[in-house]
Structure 1
Amino acid sequence: MPAPDAAATARLAVFAPLESRGRAETITRRLADAISLGLLADGEQLPSEPDLAARLGVATVTVREALSELREQGLIVTRRGRGGGSFVRAPKQEETAERLRRRLSDLTVADLRDIGDHYSTLAAGAALLAAERASPDDLERLGEAAEAFAGAAGIERQHHTDGRFHVEVAAAAQSARLTREEIRTQTDIGPLLWLPGADVHTRRRLDLQHREIVAAIAAEDGELAARLARRHVNESLERLVELHLSLVEPLG
C-alpha cells in the first residue's frame, strides 16, 4: 500500500473530535492554526457544516459559529450556490509581518525564554517518542518533510515546511494530542521564529539538523533525537532573541 502524503497524519489531528463538546472557540483556534501552518491550503474547500460537525463531534450550530468567527478574521470565505461552501484564505506574509514585529517588541527576553523552554521540551519529547514508535511510513513522511524544506524557495515557504517537519515528528510519535499541541505551538511561535529570516548558511544548517533528527529517529536513538530537536529549537530561539533586542534597544 502506498504511503499517505506527508500531511495526512497531521490533518487527522486537525479534524479529530474535540475533547470538550460545544466549544466554538476551540474549533476556531484549531482551524486557524491549521490554516496559518499551511495544513489547510489556500483556496481549499472545507468539509460541509454537517460533515465538519460530525467529524468534530459537535452540533452544527457550533460549527456555524466557529466558521463565522473565521470569516471575521478573514481566514475563510463562503460562497453560495452551486459549487459553494467555505474556502480557506491563507494570510499573506505582508499582512502579518508588521503585526508579528509589534508582538515581538512587546515581549521580554524572559517571555521568549519561557516560550522556548516549552517549545524545546515539546520538540524533544516528540522526537524521543517518534524514535520509539515511528513506522516505516512515518519515516518516509519525515524524509519527505525534510526534503520539502530543502527545496523550499522564499521565507514563507521555508517557514511552512519547517513547521510541517516538526508536526510530522509529533505525528510519528503516534499521539494525536501531541500532534495538536505541536500544531498549536508552531502557529503560536513558528511565525515569530522566522521573522529574522534565514541566510544561506542558516538554511543549510537547518536542513542538516532536520536530516540528523530523521536519522536519529530511524536509528531508534531516542536520546540523540531528543537532544538534536532541542538544539534545533534553541538555536532558532537565539536568532529570535537577537532580533528582539535589535527592535527594542533603539527604543530604550
Structure 2
Amino acid sequence: MAPVKPLPLSSAARRAVFASLAAEPRVDAVVRRLGDAITLGLLGDGEQLPGESELSAQLGVATVTLREALVVLRHQGLVTTRRGRGGGTFVCAPADTLDERLRARLLAHTTEELRDLADHWAALAGGTARLAAERADAPDLEAPRRSLLDFARAEDPAARGRIDGRLHVEIAAAAQSARLTREEIRFQTEIGPLLCLAFNQPEAHREADAQHRALLDAVASGNGELARDLAEQHVHVALRRLIERRLDGPWQQQA
C-alpha cells in the first residue's frame, strides 16, 4: 500500500497540528495531537519531526513533556528515533487494514452509538463546510483538491478511509478555525480508522468520490447552505454503511 503524501508545510491543517497546546500541557495531549495527525496522514510516513526544542516550543510544552510523549508514541509504533548523523524522530504510518483489531473496534460500537456518531459528525462537518464556503479563498482549497484526486485514485480501502478523513480536516482548516480543525482531527481518530469499511466496495468508492466533488464545488462557489447539506449527506451515507457492516453476516456473528 502506497503511503499517503503529507500535506504541504504551509497548509492550514498542518499549522493546526503544530499549534500551541498551552491550554493543556500534558503528555497525553501531545500524544493525542501527534498520534491523531499521523493516523490521519497529516504527517507522512518517514517524515522527520522538528527537533525537540523546536517542537516543544511550537506545542507550548516543556521539553521533558515532549520527550515523555515521544516515548509513548514509540511504544505505539507511530514514531521511531534514529541516532547519529542524520538522526532524529521520524513518523511511522500505521497500517490500517481489515484485521482483528479493526473488527473489534467496530463491534465495540452499538448501532445506537454509531447513529449518535453520525449526528455529531454531520453537525461538525456541515458547519465547517458552510464556514469554508463563506471564508475560503483559492489557496485554502488547494489541499482539499489534492486530497480529492488522491481519494479518486486510491485503490486500497484503508487509504480511502484516511484520505476521506484528511479531506474533512482540510475543509475545516479552510473554514479558518483552528478550534474546529482540531475538533475534526479529534473526531477522525475516533471514527476515521473504521471508514475504510465504508469505502471497501467499488460502488461505495465511486459514490463517495462524487459526493466529495459536489461538496468541493459548493465550497468553491461560496454556496454555504448547499455545502452544509452535502457534507451532512456524505457523513450519513458513510455511517449508514458502517451500521450495515456492523449488522452484517460475519460481523454480527462475532458480537
TM-score of the superposed pair, with normalisation by structure 2: 0.91
Partner of 1:33: 36
1:9 partnered with 2:12: yes
Q: Secondary structure of 2:86's match?
A: coil
Q: CA deviation at 1:97?
A: 2.9
Kept in 1: contact 2:103–2:251 (CA 8 A): no
Which amino acid is the alignment partner of residue 226 of structure 2? L
Partner of 2:168: 166
Measured against aligned partners, the alpha-carbon deviations of 1:58-77 in whole angstroms (never above 9, x if no partner) come to 11011011101111111111
Partner of 1:101: 103
Partner of 1:156: 158
For residues 144 and 87 of structure 1, the distance between their equivalents in structure 2, rounded to whole angstroms, comes to 24
2:202 to 167, 175, 200: 200
Q: Secondary structure of 2:99's match?
A: helix
1:220 to 190, 210, 222: 222
Measured against aligned partners, the alpha-carbon deviations of 1:108-145 in whole angstroms (never above 9, x if no partner) come to 11111111111111100110100110111113333222
Partner of 1:112: 114
Partner of 2:59: 56
What is the number of residues matched between the two proteins? 248
Kept in 2: contact 1:6–1:141 (CA 8 A): no
For residues 218 and 174 of structure 2, the distance between their equivalents in structure 1, rounded to whole angstroms, comes to 13
Kept in 1: contact 2:198–2:204 (CA 8 A): no
Aligned pair in 2 of structure 1 residues 78, 250: CA closer, same or farther (>3 Å)? same
Measured against aligned partners, the alpha-carbon deviations of 1:191-226 in whole angstroms (never above 9, x if no partner) come to 112224432221111111111111111121111100
- Identity across the alignment (%): 53
Partner of 2:140: 138
User: Deviation above 4 Å: which 4+ runs of structure 1?
Assistant: none
Q: Secondary structure of 1:83's match?
A: coil
Which amino acid is the alignment partner of residue 71 of structure 2? S
Q: CA deviation at 1:21?
A: 4.5
Kept in 2: contact 1:123–1:229 (CA 8 A): yes
For residues 155 and 245 of structure 1, the distance between their equivalents in structure 2, rounded to whole angstroms, comes to 20
For residues 69 and 243 of structure 1, the distance between their equivalents in structure 2, rounded to whole angstroms, comes to 32
Measured against aligned partners, the alpha-carbon deviations of 1:142-169 in whole angstroms (never above 9, x if no partner) come to 3222122112221122222211211111
1:88 partnered with 2:130: no
For residues 7 and 233 of structure 1, the distance between their equivalents in structure 2, rounded to whole angstroms, comes to 27
Q: Secondary structure of 1:77's match?
A: strand
For residues 155 and 127 of structure 2, the distance between their equivalents in structure 1, rounded to whole angstroms, comes to 29
Aligned pair in 2 of structure 1 residues 80, 59: CA closer, same or farther (>3 Å)? same
Q: CA deviation at 1:32?
A: 0.5
For residues 13 and 94 of structure 2, the distance between their equivalents in structure 1, rounded to whole angstroms, comes to 20
Q: Secondary structure of 2:19's match?
A: coil
For residues 178 and 223 of structure 1, the distance between their equivalents in structure 2, rounded to whole angstroms, comes to 18
Give me the CA root mean square deviation.
1.8
Which amino acid is the alignment partner of residue 78 of structure 2? L
For residues 197 and 102 of structure 2, the distance between their equivalents in structure 1, rounded to whole angstroms, comes to 8
Q: CA deviation at 1:248?
A: 5.0
For residues 205 and 6 of structure 1, the distance between their equivalents in structure 2, rounded to whole angstroms, comes to 31
**Please, which moves more after superposition, 206-215 or 154-163?**
154-163
For residues 46 and 6 of structure 1, the distance between their equivalents in structure 2, rounded to whole angstroms, comes to 12
Which amino acid is the alignment partner of residue 76 of structure 1? V
TM-score of the superposed pair, with normalisation by structure 1: 0.92
For residues 36 and 7 of structure 1, the distance between their equivalents in structure 2, rounded to whole angstroms, comes to 20
